[in-house]
Amino acid sequence: MNTTAVKQQLQGLIITLRTYWERPRKNEYVNYREVAGFSIGAMGVKAVNSMLGFIQLAPTCLLIASVYGLSPRAIMVLFAITNVISILKTPFVSMLVDNTDTKIGKFRPYLLWAGIPCVLSIIALTWFIPLNASSTVKIILIGIYFNILSIAQPLYNNAYMGISQVITPNSQERTNILGVSEFLGNLGPSITNLLIPSLAGLFFGKNGMLDIRAYRILLPAFSIIGFIMGLIVMYYSKERVIKPKDEKEKIGFLEGMKYISKNRYFWIVTISKFFDGFKGGLSMMLTWVCAYQLQNTGIQGILSTIVSVGYTPGILLAPLLIKKLGSKKAAFIFHFLNPIAALVMLMTFKNGFVFFVISLFLYNFALGPQYIMQTSMLSDGFDYQQDKEGIRIEGFAQNFMLMITTIGTILSTAVFTFIYEKNGLIADAVTGLTDYSILINDSIREPIITGVILVVIVTSLCSALPYLFCNLNAKDMEQIKFSLEKKKFVHDAGLADAEEAVQKEEFEKFLTQREKEEALLAEKLQKEKEQAKEQADKYKNMSKEEIKAFQKEEKARLSQERRELKERKKAFIDQEIKRAKQNGEKGYIKIIAREKFEEMIRKEQNAE
């Protein structure tokens, strides 16, 4: 490719980015700026969520088990109690979310409201558990702090998931956004999983992740950074649900149960996710491989990063695969790859940790796109139900799903604990604490890993089967979207009582006007592309000095435009804030003002 062609492509890319930075593409809803904000913020949300990997109630957790010394059985009991409490609070949290009605939506506020207690509970779990306390005291304190986390963290994570489901009503656009956001978002856990063990090894020696100082310094620091980044999602993303402007949903628990019982796509994903606790068993084994087989916790960060790279190819392929194969085939294929990868691990892991890492990489490759596919399928199911019954229940569905998957996780913990204890990992009869260093012995560690893999193979297969029952396709979703848009227009235009012929006529006028606006926008974009091509052609006859002079002039022009837009934006927001305060309005005033300004700019650009 010659230099001129490269310059033309770069010019085209710049024009595209500039064109769609503040306004969406034709027939789409989300501009590039919002995609960037949602994706970067996702890194923070997922980084905070990744802290659970370092403080989870599992014998493979070095902090809870090896540092605090809790036995597998004590951890299982504490885990069961915590999750029973989680199940009991689910109905109340479900109603809380679905009945939340703020100026910025029902999900976005929880990135702040639930994020703060997440960070505080992580600090408490690392700083306020005395190392020399009895097993009973440790269990009580860990139980209190972890229960706070177990209430706040699902709310925090579900807020992000909820936004991803309603960021656009366009099914394919939603899938594309999830592809970008999941790719960038997973960099958050990848970075934390690499840096925390590596920094622990650097500052606290070979047993870095067995040193309490590593947790007390690194986990709070990364949690706070992640929480601040997660607020970008709240600030820059929007919730877009095609429904009448003045429609407000107030859903009781029994009513929510009635609607959720009829949503096929909710049950497909929920039954599949019931086995997530079992499927996570393989990743947990990596901690023991590093700490007791390799006897080097510092290398855990490197190996975690290597196997987490496996997520990336599937994440990048997910939008294309869903578009080409459909949600049903794509979801089934990637879920079915999990038991195959686990079978490979079963046959090879005793040959060395390298084989374990390779198998886990393949397992994660299959896991990578599953969240995107599940979210896409759930969102389609919610759109379908809204079209048929006029109601959306994302918040209720997420929390009810959490209740069911929690039962699955409790069951998986009991099964894995049985495997651990059967192979000799039990508490001391006198102290009640457990010495996990016996896992250095291959004759104890390898049977445990074998048992875990066998369980994972069976449950991963069970997780794949529900997707055979999906029957929505892209054509169905286009019809649903059209139907929802028509219903919204009829309601907002005050035509609910008009005859069907009148409603149809007025809606067709609305569509015609929108098509004209989109045609004008497309024409403007085409002119910009032609201008870019003309400019690229001029480069052929320009000297280096002339090119530099032109680029300097163009840069100055763009900088001036940005300064003028920035000043205009500031003046608009200041005026809106002043007006809002005078009218006694409260809550997210600045965010609402910014979104009003962006909407005004988009309309101006579309009208040019």
Query: Cα separation of 129 and 137, whole Å?
Result: 9
Q: Which of helix, strand or coil describes residue 563? A: helix
Query: Cα separation of 446 and 348, whole Å?
Result: 12
- Residue 102: beta bridge partners? 105
Regions of the chain where pLDDT drops below 70: 1-13, 15-16, 18-19, 26-27, 91, 94-95, 98, 241-254, 394-395, 521, 524-525, 528-529, 531-533, 535-542, 547, 551, 554, 558, 602-608
Beta carbons within 8 Å of 103's beta carbon, 6+ residues apart: 587, 588, 591, 592
320: nearest Cα among 220, 430, 172: 172
Query: Cα separation of 279 and 453, whole Å?
Result: 9
- Residue 70: beta bridge partners? 433
Buried/exposed code over 211-241 (b: 16+ C-beta within 10 A; e: otherwise): beebbebbbbebbebbbebbbbbbbbbbbbb
Beta carbons within 8 Å of 418's beta carbon, 6+ residues apart: none
Cβ 68 vs Cβ 131: under 8 Å: yes
**Predicted pLDDT at 85:** 84
Burial of 335 (0-12, 13-18, 19+ CB in 10 A): buried
Entry pTM: 0.66
- Mean pLDDT of all residues belonging to the chain: 83
Beta carbons within 8 Å of 307's beta carbon, 6+ residues apart: 283, 286, 357, 360, 361, 364
Q: Which of helix, strand or coil describes residue 102? A: strand
**Predicted pLDDT at 342:** 95
**Predicted pLDDT at 40:** 93
